[in-house]
């Protein structure tokens, strides 16, 4: 049993307890994922107060509607980060904050670390996974990685990316799929 | 593998990253509905969401207000949930996975609904419990919904719907106590839409359709109501 499996098993136990109304389980999941959730929200919306609000909404939703989690559709982390990401993307598109972010749209992950150095906290329990994901991202061909990052971290839609890059929409989608497959294969390889 | 899942995998990958828009949103929902209770579809979705969520782990965690968890618990205790299960459904991400039985029921509903709509017939639906509601607000577009009160599942079918425009889609709203709750988005192909929404609209008072940005669903409508129906 590797660390990832142990972590997922612990998440499932906490989620089951949370669904039964266990406040400590809620605090446990909050402690495990709220800092990453805020980093994700911040990366997309780029506004601390908005990011904090998104995190609060997502965890409130989790507390109120734990039945929304379906184990057959993925891990607790994937579900939670999906809620955060969905809200962040929805917010950034609604607020048209692409305009505010235009100047640094090309900033990469390392730039983001520098941008928010004051907010960065210690990597508590997942520095190894962070390194693994960054290494996996680095292995993806640049033309695929750019699309993945624009979609996930900048909140750009496939249509927006196609228009901005001049690529056919079909190419954007196929590169997305190839990049995701490559990323998944790299991460699985690192876990073994 | 008995079915080709390449297209589904591609669209699931884009959706997991938040990039799916336009007609592909409805295309994916339709393909997933066509596949019904599809184990491989679920596996592909789980893989896509897991991979996408792994990207978040590349970021440096940020400090969160330490009082937030207690604030959430306290707020929830002070203001118990008043929204109904429609709101709960809105909070869930992605489409519902249709059980085989649900798909079969949908086919029956669609068949009955199409016959009534196309013929302009006043004949009662084939299922006596079924309700058929037509939307108003357009001289050229036809939109109708069929559902069985008390049961989850609504069929929308329409034709003559104008293209909502680049990067935009039609969003269906269920309105109860003046609170709109998104029922999902549909994009017409050649003016036609056929969509299944896994929701119980029994307690809704009105239905409405607005034109919204392609990212879907939204918390509240921003566009004008183009079609509406009173239940």
Taking phi first (over 0 means left), then psi (-120 to 50 degrees means alpha), and beta for anything else, what does residue B159 get?
A: beta
Interface of A with B in 54-113 (CB under 8 A): 55-56, 59-61, 63-65, 67-68, 72-75, 77-86, 89-90, 93-94, 109, 112-113
Question: Distance between CA atoms of B16 and A185, rounded to whole angstroms?
Answer: 16
Half-sphere exposure of B124 (CA within 13 A, CB side): 5
Residue of B20, B57, B76, B86 to mutate when probing chain A, most A C-beta within 10 A: B57
Residues of B12-36 as b/e, b for ≥16 C-beta within 10 angstroms?
Answer: bbbbbbbbbbbebbbbbbbbbbebb
| pLDDT score for A168 | 96
CB contact residues (below 8 A), chain A span 15-34, against chain B: 23, 26-27, 30-31, 34
Using CB atoms within 10 A of its CB, is residue B6 exposed (0-12), middle (13-18) or buried (19+)? Answer: exposed
pLDDT at B110 over 60: no
Q: What is the pLDDT of residue A190?
A: 57
Tally of helices (H runs) and strands (E runs) in chain B: 6, 8
A151 interfacial to chain B (CB closer than 8 Å): yes
ipTM rounded to 2 decimals: 0.81
**Residues sharing a CB contact under 8 Å with residue B221, sequence separation 6 or more, in sequence order:** B171, B173, B180, B208, B210, B212
**Both tokens assigned to A65:** 């509607």
Distance separating alpha carbons of residues B172 and B187, to the nearest angstrom: 11
Q: Which of B61, B81, B215 lies at the smallest CB-CB distance from A35?
A: B61
Q: Please report residues of A whose CB lies closer than 8 A to that of B18.
A: 85-86, 89, 151-152, 155, 157
Distance of CA B124 to the CA centre of its chain: 26
> H helices then E strands: how many in chain A?
10, 0
Q: What is the pLDDT of residue B181?
A: 84
Query: For chain B, what percentages of helix, strand and coil (3-state, to nearest 5) are there?
Result: 35, 25, 40
Shortest CB distance from A120 goes to which of B24, B53, B60?
A: B60
Q: Which of A23-27, A90-94, B146-150, B175-179 is modeled with the greatest confidence? A: A23-27
Asked whether the predicted pLDDT for residue A122 surpasses 70, the reply is: no
**Mean pLDDT confidence for A155-180:** 95
Q: How far is CA B150 from CA A187, B96, B153, B201, in A?
A: 45, 18, 10, 8
Contact flag A94-B213 (C-beta cutoff 8 Å): yes
């Amino acid at each position: 049993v590797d660390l990832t499996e142990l972590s997922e098993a612990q998440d499932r136990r906490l989620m089951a307890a949370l669904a039964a109304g266990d406040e400590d389980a809620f605090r446990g999941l909050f402690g495990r994922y709220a800092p990453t959730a805020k980093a994700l929200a911040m990366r997309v919306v780029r506004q601390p107060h908005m990011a904090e609000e998104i995190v609060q909404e997502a965890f409130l939703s989790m507390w109120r509607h734990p039945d929304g989690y379906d184990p057959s559709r993925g891990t607790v982390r994937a579900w939670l980060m999906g809620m955060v990401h969905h809200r962040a993307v929805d917010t950034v598109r609604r607020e048209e904050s692409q305009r505010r972010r235009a100047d640094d749209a090309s900033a990469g992950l390392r730039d983001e670390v520098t941008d928010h150095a004051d907010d960065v906290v210690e990597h508590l329990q997942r520095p190894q996974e962070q390194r693994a994901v960054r290494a996996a991202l680095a292995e993806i061909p640049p033309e695929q990685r750019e699309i993945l990052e624009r979609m996930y971290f900048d909140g750009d839609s496939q249509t927006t990316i196609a228009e901005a890059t001049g690529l056919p929409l079909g190419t954007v989608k196929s590169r997305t799929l190839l990049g995701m497959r490559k990323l998944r294969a790299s991460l699985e390889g690192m876990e073994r | 593998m008995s079915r080709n899942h390449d297209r589904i995998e591609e669209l699931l990958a884009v959706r997991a990253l938040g990039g799916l828009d336009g007609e592909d949103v409805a295309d994916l929902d339709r393909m997933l509905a066509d596949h019904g209770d599809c184990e491989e579809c679920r596996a592909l979705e789980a893989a896509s969401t897991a991979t996408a969520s792994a990207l978040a782990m590349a970021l440096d965690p940020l400090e969160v207000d330490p009082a937030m968890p207690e604030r959430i618990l306290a707020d929830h205790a002070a203001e118990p949930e008043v929204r109904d299960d429609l709101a709960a459904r809105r909070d869930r991400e992605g489409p519902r996975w249709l059980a085989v039985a649900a798909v079969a029921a949908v086919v029956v509903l669609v068949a009955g609904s199409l016959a009534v709509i196309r013929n302009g017939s006043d004949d009662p639906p084939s299922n006596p419990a079924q309700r058929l509601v037509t939307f108003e607000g357009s001289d050229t577009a036809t939109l109708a919904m069929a559902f069985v009160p008390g049961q989850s599942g609504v069929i929308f079918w329409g034709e003559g719907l104008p293209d909502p425009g680049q990067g935009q889609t039609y969003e269906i709203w269920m309105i109860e106590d003046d609170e709109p709750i998104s029922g999902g988005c549909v994009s017409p192909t050649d003016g036609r839409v056929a969509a299944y929404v896994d929701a119980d609209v029994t307690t809704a008072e009105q239905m409405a359709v607005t034109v919204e940005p392609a990212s879907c669903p939204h918390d509240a409508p921003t566009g004008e109501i183009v079609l509406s129906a009173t239940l």
